[in-house]
Homo-oligomer: A and B are copies of this chain.
Amino acid sequence: MSIGVGIIGAGIMGADHARILAGQVAGAHLVAISDADEARAKSIAAETGAKRGVNDPMGLINDPAIGAVLIASPDATHPDFAMACIKAGRHVLCEKPLAPTAAEGLKVIEAELSTGRRLVQLGYMRRFDPGYAEMRQSLQSGRFGEALAMHCVHRNATAPSYFTSAMAIVSSCGHEVDVSRWVLSAELTSVHVFKARRSKLSHFDDPMLVVFETDKGQLVDVELFLNAQYGYDVKGELVCETGTVSLMPPADTVVRSTLATSTGLAPDWRPRFADAYRIQNQAWINSIRSGSPTGSSAWDGYVATTVTDAGVKSLETGQTVQISYEKKPALYA
């Protein structure tokens, strides 16, 4: 039986999700798309075959034809929409972050806890990227012994003009926080942010090097470089006792031309993680049918915010910052 899906937000991410759900995911159909710009909602609805485009997120959440809601609206609206969905008993795939602050995130968690079941999945799509999944599986196979360290690189071609150093940590590094915890099955306990020489092409501290320690003693280092100019590039290497596993950047062809052999790089994260988004959205639909939640939880969203808040403090003080968390509820065990 096909799941009726509603999407809140018809911006770049919401529109992409609509196309993925309508064109690449089995077992779902789009019922409604809501956006503050109703014309945009209608346009994406028409393109993707959704029944209607509206400017009515609460109506969408409470529509009985809709069993699952994908939240891709502005960050600040995430917690309220998520809580409304929980109240209405809707399954939720919420684009990251869960909430602008850890405190707001905890409210969503309380709401979810009060229902006694997991309804919320966070859109940290990298857990569904075949590369990270294979990296994690390699570790769990025991083939290379224990994991000791993980190197990450996160580069964007250009950052939006409103970005700040703190936003680089909160917004971009959140992905590495989530996926390194998942790959390592570990929690991050401290963070130290180093500023590199600032690129003339950036208006904030860029690049930076962020060094985390985990509760297993592992190191996770992340180069954040959001105005790297040359393209979108994500690298990862898991260092284990007898071998290492690195992400292979996706490329379909190799070109020989003008004195070089080359493979292409994506201009932004959407083509780079196209498989991850598709697999994530399919897994979300499947999890609704099967009842077994998958992917990042609301708790993982709270953790990401808590870690990146500590990162911002380290950025400001230049010191190593210890990270502390609320007690993890059993629902998220």
Q: Which residues of A contact B (CB under 8 A)?
A: 2, 21-29, 130-131, 133-135, 138, 143-149, 151, 153, 192, 194-201, 207, 209, 211, 213-214, 216-219, 221, 223, 225, 228-231, 233, 239, 241-267, 282, 286
In the bound complex, residues from chain B placing their C-beta under 8 Å from that of A231 are: 256, 258-260
Most buried by B among A199, A209, A228, A255: A255
Most buried by B among A197, A207, A247, A254: A197
This chain's copy number in the assembly = 4
In the complex with contacts A25-B26, A218-B197, A243-B230 CB distance below 8 A: yes
> Contact partner of A198 among B133, B217, B251, B260, CB < 8 A?
B217
> Contact partner of A199 among B148, B200, B219, CB < 8 A?
B148
> Contact partner of A259 among B133, B245, B267, CB < 8 A?
B267
In the bound complex, residues from chain B placing their C-beta under 8 Å from that of A254 are: 245-248
* Assembly CA distance A151 to B135 (angstroms): 21
Contacting pair B213 A194 (CB below 8 A): yes
In the bound complex, residues from chain B placing their C-beta under 8 Å from that of A244 are: 228, 230, 255-257
In the complex with contacts A200-B145, A246-B253, A230-B218 CB distance below 8 A: no
Contacting pair B201 A230 (CB below 8 A): no
Contacting pair A257 B230 (CB below 8 A): yes
